[in-house]
Amino acid sequence: MTTITAGPHARTASARGRSPGAYWLAAVLAVVGVVAGSTLAWNTFLAGQRRVDSFDRVAIPGTMTVEVDEPEGLVVYYEGDANIGFDDLTLTVTDPAGRALIARRYSGEMVYETIDLTKGTAVATFDADLVGTYEVTVDGVAWGDLVVGESFARRTLPGVLGGLAIVAGSLLAAFVLVTVTFARRSMSRRDQGGQR
């Protein structure tokens, strides 16, 4: 019986032959991840911007109606160049049953920019527990617009953060693959050098 044993040079040559493929795989993984993640984040952001444009709004001072199809918490935004906050506005909210609701100061900070670069800042929030038409009246300043809608962050952040996570994850995976491949090549070279 004849036994054939592969020598160390055969192993290292095989390892070297696989390395370029690993580098190509890392490159493809990085490119695909960056493109897919960036596309998801950007499309989500644009969808959020279009949603903001569809929110109900009125010039200050003024009164507007807001149609609510299902109970939810709504956010009141101020759009304009001035630095206007909750204390600068007088808000009155009436629900479909004719009851006055309390508009609370928005906790935290939420800012957006519309497609035409108008700045919007969350100033208040209220609970729309009934389905129907709400009336919102605003006074206190004589410029800017009052906007009422859902939380901009709640709609856009998951998709944007998810897209960024895909980008970061793909780059990290590509980096790990390149690092491991390079380390294995270096070990193979050292082994080959020691056997000469």
Asked if 71 and 146 touch (Cβ cutoff 8 Å), the reply is no
Hey, what are 32's tokens? Answer: 């695909």
pTM check: above 0.85:
no
Distances (CA, A) of 20 to 15, 24, 39: 10, 6, 28
Distances (CA, A) of 115 to 40, 79, 82: 18, 13, 18
Residue scoring higher pLDDT (135 or 186): 135
pLDDT of residue 13: 45
pLDDT of residue 189: 66
Element (H, E) at 69: none
Give the CA dihedral 47, 48, 53, 54, nearest 10 degrees. 80
Q: Compute CA 162 distance to the chain's CA centroid, rounded to the nearest angstrom.
A: 6
In the structure, what pLDDT confidence band is assigned to residue 192 with cuts at 50, 70 and 90? low
Give the E-state strand segments of the chain in sequence order. 56-59, 62-68, 72-79, 90-94, 100-101, 104-105, 111-113, 119-128, 132-139, 145-149
Q: Please name every residue paired with 122 in a beta bridge, in sequence order, or none if there are none.
A: 77
